[in-house]
Chains A and B, each alone.
Chain A
Amino acid sequence: MTDMSSIQKACKNYEQDLVLHYYGESSPEERERIQAHLQGCPSCSRFLDELRTVLPLTVKADEPPESFWESYSRELRQRLMTAREKNAWWEGIFSFLRPWAVPTLATAVVLILAVTLTLTRGTWHTRDLPPKEEALLEVLPIAENLEFYTSMDFLDSLDLLEDMGGADSGSA
């Protein structure tokens, strides 16, 4: 066991190359270059040795017994069967939306709408209000203009008086 501070450092330029070299991921030219460097660099050699010691320790292989794999396959088959049944149900639903069915359904909807609108023409109301409220809505604009009509009547009366006054003075 070594102290944390004594951790072996490699040459900065070679660090990543050494890691990849450890995993056998360097090209033949790189391998040659690294080998040549390692021969003259004890720090990088120790770094590589450390990788060879530490990295295999991190692998913790699990070897489950045969019974585990039997139950694994059995459970998964069951789960797959449930998924298949679910898929079949959805496929049944979506079978209505096949390419030929979409325009057919759309045409049918348009036809039904056209027939309905033709047969019920004149019986449609913009608002479905009870008769009392409907009557009130008709009266309301007249009531709002009542004041105007009253003032118009008043002016008519003035004109009439004026005419009458004019007629009296003419006769005098």
Chain B
Amino acid sequence: MGTGRPEELGDETLVTLAQKGEHKAFEELVERYKQKAYRIAFDFTRDREEAKDLSQEAFLRAFTHLNGFDQRASFYTWFYRILVNLCLDYRRRGQRVSWQPFEEHDGKTAEKNEIANPGPSPDREAMSGEISRKIGAALNSLPPKQRTAFVLKNHEGLSIREIAKIMQTAEGTVKTHIHRAVLALRQSLAELV
């Protein structure tokens, strides 16, 4: 890459270089967005492996369709749209993963934690697992658009304008989705207050 170190370049330049076949440019975009992409996918799946697969798939799709991306929107808006659509498809296919604390399905992590720290009592752990399950169920029961808007706002801290661009809808609609999602969650999680 003759125009400087990839990590110093803006998204726009990296996209242009990647469109010209510079592999390193796209790899830099991956490095830049992989954690955020993973986190969004995790918000939808609540499963580490599924989140990894979905976020990687989003990068692959972005790569294969990169030449069709005209840069009218920013790269991350365009990329998040791909990712969110994949996450919604995942939900539509009905592959809902139960909300479980990681320790329950990541043996190694649990083991390490046990050695370093005796951790909470079994009662407390069970209670936290139960709360976690309830929150997961409450989020799962939200309609897809409400959940998307809520996750992007509440978990990722994106602005209403950014969410509207990603969801290709009006800002007013996003506000309504978030408002309804919050009311539904309050209703479902009232006992936690």
**Chain B residue with minimal CB distance to A49?**
B193
The secondary-structure label for the interface of chain B is helix
B63 touches A83 (CB 8 A): yes
**Chain B residue with minimal CB distance to A15?**
B179
A79 touches B135 (CB 8 A): no
Is A113 part of the contact surface with B, judged by Cβ < 8 Å?
A: no
Stretch with Cβ within 8 A of B (4 or more), from A70-78, A118-126, A133-141: A70-78
Q: Which of B23, B59, B176, B192 has the most chain A CB within a 10 Å cutoff?
A: B192
The secondary-structure label for the interface of chain A is helix
B190 touches A72 (CB 8 A): no
Is B91 part of the contact surface with A, judged by Cβ < 8 Å?
A: no
Which residues of chain B have a CB within 8 Å of any CB of chain A? Answer: 23, 26-27, 30-31, 34-35, 38-39, 42, 46, 48, 51-52, 56, 59-60, 63-64, 99, 102, 109, 131-132, 135-136, 138-139, 153-155, 159-160, 175-176, 178-179, 182-183, 185-187, 189-193
List 16 additional contacts besides A7-B193, A15-B183, A54-B186; criterion CB under 8 Å: A7-B187, A20-B179, A25-B160, A50-B193, A54-B192, A57-B189, A60-B46, A60-B99, A65-B109, A73-B30, A76-B56, A76-B60, A79-B56, A80-B30, A80-B59, A80-B60
From B131, B160, B182, contact of A57 by CB (8 A): B131
A53 vs B27: C-alpha distance in the bound complex, in angstroms? Answer: 40
B191 touches A4 (CB 8 A): yes
A23 vs B109: C-alpha distance in the bound complex, in angstroms? Answer: 33
A64 vs B37: C-alpha distance in the bound complex, in angstroms? Answer: 13
**Chain A residue with minimal CB distance to B181?**
A19
A16 touches B175 (CB 8 A): yes
Residues of B within 8 A of A80 (CB): 23, 26-27, 30, 59-60, 63
Smallest Cβ distance from B149 to chain A, in angstroms? 11
Residues of B within 8 A of A75 (CB): 52, 56
Sample 8 A-B pairs with CB under 8 A, ordered by A number: A7-B186, A25-B175, A60-B135, A64-B38, A65-B109, A77-B27, A80-B30, A83-B64
